[in-house]
Structures are given as structure tokens and as C-alpha cells.
Amino acid sequence: MRRRPFKIPESVLVVIHTPQREVLLLERADHPGFWQSVTGSRDSLSEDLALTAAREVQEETGIGANVADFRDWSLTNTYDIYPAWRARYAPGITRNTEHVFSLRVPSGTAVTLSPREHTACQWLPWREAADRCYSPSNAEAILLLPQFLD
């Protein structure tokens, strides 16, 4: 019997970075070696995407930020959901639409991981972070970071 509602196949990807272009990566608890930026699905179809981004960053990293602190890149990726995670979605759902945001934080920002989701984190120079990502859309987003800096 399914206890949790199905995930909505619309999510955010948040590239958290410092002014020096260091990018925060998280290692998934359910897949060791799978490094990624903060990601997460909307809680409801009406949830504002920037609110989704702020909620997911708080849940996954402990970093509190206002919705206004997030930069919406107006970039979306649509991709096949990895088979290992399809059971989280309603039957027949195989694709997800991901909206890319960034959040600039000061160097040395403390991170408190959600142990249910991630086991480790690291700050890496942006190109190294892109190389470390498991997800191609995540790596591509990190490589675009210089275009979205103030």
C-alpha cells in the first residue's frame, strides 16, 4: 500500500554557488557516488517554483534563503526519469520537467545535510563540480553559471 502521494513530475534544480564560483554538490544517500545540486519536486501544482527552490534548499542543506534570493534562469530541461525512481510517480509518468535556479551564498556558508537524502557535501570550483555531476542536465546547468552571474 502506497503511503506517500505520487511526486509531481515538475521540479527545480538549484545551483548553489559562492561569488568565487565554487558550487555546492551533495552525494545522494540512496546512490553513493551520485553527486548533484539541490533538486526537488513541487509539493502542489500551485506551488510557486521559487518557493519550491527555497523549500528544497532549506530541507537538503539547512541554508535559509528568501524567495527573492533565488535567480530564475528561465531554463527548463525535460528528461526521462531514471527507472529506479519511476515508482515515486503516478503510473505512466516517465518524464520530468526541471526548472533551473541559482542561489549565491557567501564563501564558508555552513551546510547541514538531511541524512535521509544526502551523506556528504563538497564545494568545488564550477568546472570541477560540473565534471563530478551524475546528471547531464545538472552538469550543463553548472557550466552555464558564468552567464548568470551579476
Averaged pLDDT of the chain: 94
Please give the CATH architecture assigned to the domain spanning 10-148: Alpha-Beta Complex (3.90)
pLDDT digits (tens, 9 = 90+) for 115-133: 899 999 999 999 999 999 9
Measured CA distances, 146 to 43, 76, 111, 139 (Å): 30, 17, 23, 13
**Which DSSP helix (H) or strand (E) runs through 127?**
helix 126-132
- The reported pLDDT for the residue numbered 84 is 85
Looking at residue 3, what is its pLDDT? 66
pLDDT band at 31 (very low <50, low <70, confident <90, very high): confident
Write down the pTM of the prediction. 0.93
Q: Provide the residue ranges of all domains of the chain, joining segments of one domain with +.
A: 10-148
Give the pLDDT mean for 96-105: 98
